[in-house]
Amino acid sequence: MAEPERPVRDPAAAAVAPVLSIRPLTTATLGQHGTRLTVPTYDRAALVPAVVHLSVGGFSRAHQLTYFDEIAERRISRGWGVVGVGLRHRLLQEALAPQDNLYTVVERSPDGERARVVGVLTDYLFAPDDPTAVLDRLADPRTRLVTMTITGAGYLLDPSTGAFTPDDDVRHDLAHPDAPRTVFGFLVEALDRRRRAGTPPFSVVSCDNLHRNGDATRAAVVGFAAGRDEVLARWITDRVAFPSSMVDRITPQTTPEERAAVAERHGVDDRWPVVTEPFSQWVIEDTFCHGRPPLDRVGVRFVRDVTEHELMKTRLLNATHSALGYLGTLAGHERIDELVADPVFAGYATALMDDEVTPLIPCPEGIDLDEYKATLLQRFANPAIADRLSRLCRRGSTKLPHHLLPSLRQALAEGRPHALLTLALAGWVRYLQRTDDAGRPLPVEDDRGPVLQALALAGGTDPRPLLGDASVFGDLGTVPGFAGELEGVLHRLERDGPRATVASTVAATVAARPVVPLVPVLPVDAR
């Protein structure tokens, strides 16, 4: 399920309370905030709640909801209001309810920041309190689109077969369809109600970093439905659209200090604002079953096949994020902007992308990969965001199999250079051993953390026990010679430390680049 944000609690509230110019954020106070930040000028009461977003968090509020807010603000359509649904934690509901579901998005760049209030969220439901209300909303004929951010682990797909694998909550939902606990319990029951009522189904758009996330969503929904009713499963297969999508916007966790800063600078006492970067990207396959939202009018790109865009993003941005997160943390860094200010790690990120990942991926139509990679480095270096490496290190057992290991596996299969990819994996192995280069303890935030930590600690510099976990590594541990390569890198990390190991590996990579012969430029009249 979605990773919960940490709540913004009273210390920040105390910090902003004495400043008289700071006002609470509600529908009644919007007019008072209009001089210091951008506020909605459309009629929120006229919005049609056509979108339901499952598992609202910081990213969805900074990304998907801002696009729908722009549709309303530009008067393109009033027909795409959003209803948010929380699945596991009520903290966001407690923050949004007193604010009439308004919240602030602050975009920060080295040149400054701008803030806007997003008003497109028409309602927010906490599913455990009232699952019937969520089912009613999903079954409502006005609902035409469901978007979701539940993280890769939430799909319950077997990594080797891709089959849906029910857990205890799923088994509960199969037995009690009127009171579901899981995303797929809600989706399938709502779709069944629509089928029985003769209501067209809604489209389902995953916004998680998964390969072919639309296919993954389809597999999970149909797999769940097959456990209830094969006729229902076939109806969903034939009638429901599951467009794959690629999303991108760096959105760090909001801290109490950030909330205080937003209040001080913009005069808004928002219980849970979102701080993000100016860059935002959303690419969606143009396959919808109940009307297509006019997102292309506000910067979203509709394509026939999102695969190339997804590979570009996950293998360049997400894999590099993970690599820098683990190696930088081992070296004692805390923020990615500080890390890439070090030429050793900036050089590593550049070489990893240029030498080992780019040759493995196709270039999407209309994209300049060199420009894209340069933009990534600029985004990493944004000190106004100050993204913490601890965020990048979370859920490695979910992220690496989707983002980094596919490139490593492909490079091994094709006999291509992979020393930098192997070093990234070695960084994760060392991170799982719970201390950085100076012996400081490291927090491992991962559902499979205890199991993987035990394997990493048992092996020490021998990665074979850990590589034997097929749920994460598949058959990577059986590739001839690879375990020995990884073991050698782990020895170097232990002997030389992370920064020196990164520097020497990059130097060797640069030295091994093929020499491109210079072609002499002849005079125009040369024969």
The answer, yes or no, to whether residue 523 has pLDDT greater than 70, is: no
What's the confidence (pLDDT) of residue 521? 56
Cβ atoms < 10 Å from Cβ of 371 = 9
pLDDT digits (tens, 9 = 90+) for 151-182: 988 999 987 788 999 999 999 999 999 999 99
Cβ atoms < 10 Å from Cβ of 122 = 18
Cβ atoms < 10 Å from Cβ of 368 = 10
Judged by DSSP in three states, 89 sits in coil
pLDDT digits (tens, 9 = 90+) for 260-289: 999 999 999 999 999 999 999 999 999 999
The answer, yes or no, to whether residue 16 has pLDDT greater than 80, is: no
Task: Choose between 13 and 433: higher pLDDT.
Answer: 433
pLDDT-derived band at 483, boundaries 50, 70, 90: very high
What's the confidence (pLDDT) of residue 118? 98
Query: Rounded to whole angstroms, what are the CA distances from 519 to 68, 298, 522?
Result: 52, 46, 9
C-alpha dihedral over 273, 276, 279, 282, to 10 degrees?
-60
Are the CB atoms for 494 and 486 separated by under 8 Å? no
The answer, yes or no, to whether residue 8 has pLDDT greater than 60, is: no
Q: Is the dihedral of CA 399, 402, 405, 411 positive or negative?
A: negative
The answer, yes or no, to whether residue 307 has pLDDT greater than 90, is: yes
What's the confidence (pLDDT) of residue 156? 94
What's the confidence (pLDDT) of residue 153? 87
Between 3.40.50.720, 1.20.1090.10, 1.10.540.10, 2.60.120.10, what CATH number should domain 23-304 receive?
Answer: 3.40.50.720
pLDDT-derived band at 525, boundaries 50, 70, 90: low
What are the residues whose beta carbons fall under 8 Å from the beta carbon of 430, sequence distance 6 or more? 326, 330, 490, 493, 494, 498
Distance CA(488)–CA(130), nearest Å, equals 54
Length of the chain equals 527
Are the CB atoms for 404 and 392 separated by under 8 Å? no
Q: What are φ and ψ of residue 283, in 5° steps?
A: -120, 130
Q: With pLDDT > 70 as the criterion, what percentage of the chain qualifies?
A: 94
Judged by DSSP in three states, 479 sits in coil
Question: In CATH, which superfamily holds the domain spanning 307-512?
Answer: N-(1-d-carboxylethyl)-l-norvaline Dehydrogenase; domain 2 (1.10.1040.10)
What's the confidence (pLDDT) of residue 472? 94
Q: Is the dihedral of CA 417, 420, 424, 425 positive or negative?
A: positive
pLDDT-derived band at 5, boundaries 50, 70, 90: very low
pLDDT-derived band at 20, boundaries 50, 70, 90: very low
Rounded to the nearest integer, the mean pLDDT of the chain is 93
pLDDT-derived band at 18, boundaries 50, 70, 90: very low
Both structure tokens of 406: 């596919």
Q: Where are the domains positioned within the chain?
A: 23-304, 307-512
The answer, yes or no, to whether residue 313 has pLDDT greater than 60, is: yes
pLDDT digits (tens, 9 = 90+) for 95-116: 999 999 999 999 999 999 999 9
Q: What is the pTM of this model?
A: 0.90
